[in-house]
Amino acid sequence: MSRKRQVTIVDLAEAAGVSIATVSNVLNRRNVPMSSETIRKVEQAAEQLGYRRNVMAASLSRKKSYELGMLVPSFAGHHGRFAEEMQRMAHTYGYHLSVFSAAGFDPEIEKRHLDVLLQRRVDGLICHGLAMSQEATRQLVGVGTPLVLFNAWGWPTDIAVGAVNLDFVVGCDEVVNHLYEQGCRTICYIGKSSLYATDCQRRIGVQNGLNRLSEPVASVSFDADSFASIEELLDQLEAFRAESGPGLVGVIGFDDVLTLSFMSAVLRRGYRVPEEFLIAGINNDPVTAICHPLLTSLALPADLQAEFVMLLMLQALEDNAALSRFPQEYLSKAEREGHEIQIPLQLVPRRSTGR
């Protein structure tokens, strides 16, 4: 059986009725004057003929691969949704995104990810603050690869071109105020010290919210990682509640998974939500809208965060053609906020806090 001949740009030029140079300009996304109809004809011809670009050869000749790498702590919850948004965003602006999971922060897996990214000669790297060590990321930055961080606090400013962080501080402040307005005079935060940087942001927000209340309330925080079970944590909260006096207790959990586990324990003990406990989570996972009672949560706008991550990356890559497609308000926000762009969260009140 004869081997099928590989389709070339000569074939594309003939099928689209344009010059070989025009085909090259379209495929390589060169910033030269071309009509949308010309671009459409070339792309249609490529699809019909089954053309596949030799990305490695193209990147060697142009010194640009149009390949981006991204590292997330895991594919669960918000991280998975954000990875999907980033893949769509990269595709929209003419790039391919390869996503890797830290897989429990295994150093061997981290090294393998790093080797793969270096071999692929990615144009840029997008990294969650908990997905890779600063030492490992410096290796990529050291070879000239621009790095954009997301949800990264406390990183050296020289290691990345910028960071796009969800504003948990303001969001948690808003949750505290919401619980107070619903009548809570005892407020508890349940955190996770193992995820130090993100947990810190939440704790700061909760404390800011408590400080801004018009009257002092009884408050306590627990570290879920220090308890053998949610039941033990609830025992401690019950003891604090007995000391602080009767009344509604407001609880804010580190994320929706932890918060739902706590709410289940509360209901198993015969307490009523929201008549005795008002409970709010963070992440707005889909299950928050189908559990009982429906769970109040902070929605994390993955799509907006992805847009600003891509904006910073395109600025670092000096891809002016792609940047010209961003709304001026986004460009202005990036310029105004500088190295760290804050993405606001949205409180979604539901039955678990009385709404």
Q: Give tens-digit pLDDT for 65-76.
A: 788 999 888 888
Whether residue 349 is predicted with pLDDT greater than 90 in this model: the reply is yes
Q: How many residues are present in the chain? A: 355
**CB 64 within 8 Å of CB 122:** no
Confidence category of residue 1, pLDDT binned at 50, 70, 90: very low
Q: Is the same domain home to 183 and 296?
A: yes
Residue at 1 is within a domain = no
Q: Within its chain, how far is the Cα of 193 from the centroid?
A: 20
Q: Is the same domain home to 289 and 317?
A: no
Bond prior to 216 in cis (omega within 30° of 0): no
Q: Is the same domain home to 188 and 261?
A: yes
d(CA 280, CA 184): 12
Give the range with max mean pLDDT: 19-23, 108-112, 259-263: 259-263
Q: Is the same domain home to 203 and 257?
A: yes
Q: Can you give the residue range of the structural domain that contains 258?
A: 168-300+346-353
Residue at 321 is within a domain = yes
Q: Give tens-digit pLDDT for 113-147.
A: 777 776 667 888 898 887 777 776 676 666 578 88
The residue among 50 and 187 whose pLDDT is bigger is 187
pLDDT given at position 186: 96
CA atoms within 13 A on the CB side of 107: 2
Q: Is the same domain home to 316 and 287?
A: no
Q: Give tens-digit pLDDT for 316-344.
A: 999 998 999 999 999 999 999 988 999 99
Whether residue 199 is predicted with pLDDT greater than 60 in this model: the reply is yes
Q: Is the same domain home to 155 and 182?
A: no
d(CA 86, CA 266): 37
* pTM flag (> 0.75): yes
Q: Is the same domain home to 139 and 219?
A: no
Tell me, what CATH number does 161's domain have?
A: 3.40.50.2300
Task: Tell me which residue of 191, 179, 349 sits closest to 249, measured CA to CA.
Answer: 179
Residue at 3 is within a domain = no
Q: Is the same domain home to 232 and 190?
A: yes
Q: Is the same domain home to 229 and 309?
A: no
Whether residue 179 is predicted with pLDDT greater than 90 in this model: the reply is yes
Least confident of 20-29, 167-176, 177-186: 20-29
* Rg of the chain in Å (alpha carbons): 25
Q: Give tens-digit pLDDT for 279-313.
A: 999 999 999 999 999 999 999 999 999 999 999 99
Residue at 292 is within a domain = yes
The residue among 105 and 39 whose pLDDT is bigger is 39
> What's the Cα-to-Cα distance from 95 to each of 35, 69, 116, rounded to whole Å?
21, 10, 17
pLDDT given at position 3: 46
Residue at 153 is within a domain = yes
pLDDT given at position 181: 97
Query: What is the sign, positive or negative, of the torsion defined by CA atoms of 97, 98, 103, 105?
Result: negative
Burial bucket for residue 181 (CB in 10 Å: 0-12, 13-18, 19+): exposed
| Average pLDDT of the segment spanning 7-19 | 84
Average pLDDT value over all residues in the chain: 87
What whole-number percentage of the chain has pLDDT above 70? 88
d(CA 190, CA 248): 17
Residue at 29 is within a domain = yes
Q: Is the same domain home to 291 and 178?
A: yes
CA atoms within 13 A on the CB side of 111: 3
Residue at 229 is within a domain = yes
Burial bucket for residue 136 (CB in 10 Å: 0-12, 13-18, 19+): middle
pLDDT given at position 41: 87
- Number of domains, the chain: 3
Residue at 223 is within a domain = yes
pLDDT given at position 55: 44
| Average pLDDT of the segment spanning 189-212 | 94
Confidence category of residue 5, pLDDT binned at 50, 70, 90: low
What whole-number percentage of the chain has pLDDT above 90? 57
Q: Within its chain, how far is the Cα of 60 from the centroid?
A: 31
Confidence category of residue 274, pLDDT binned at 50, 70, 90: very high
The residue among 60 and 113 whose pLDDT is bigger is 113
Q: Is the same domain home to 18 and 130?
A: no
pLDDT given at position 145: 80
Q: Give tens-digit pLDDT for 218-270.
A: 999 999 999 999 999 999 999 999 988 889 999 999 999 999 999 999 999 99
pLDDT given at position 293: 97
Task: List strands edge to edge, sheet with 277-283.
Answer: 218-223, 186-191, 249-253, 277-283, 296-299, 346-348
Q: Is the same domain home to 79 and 194?
A: no
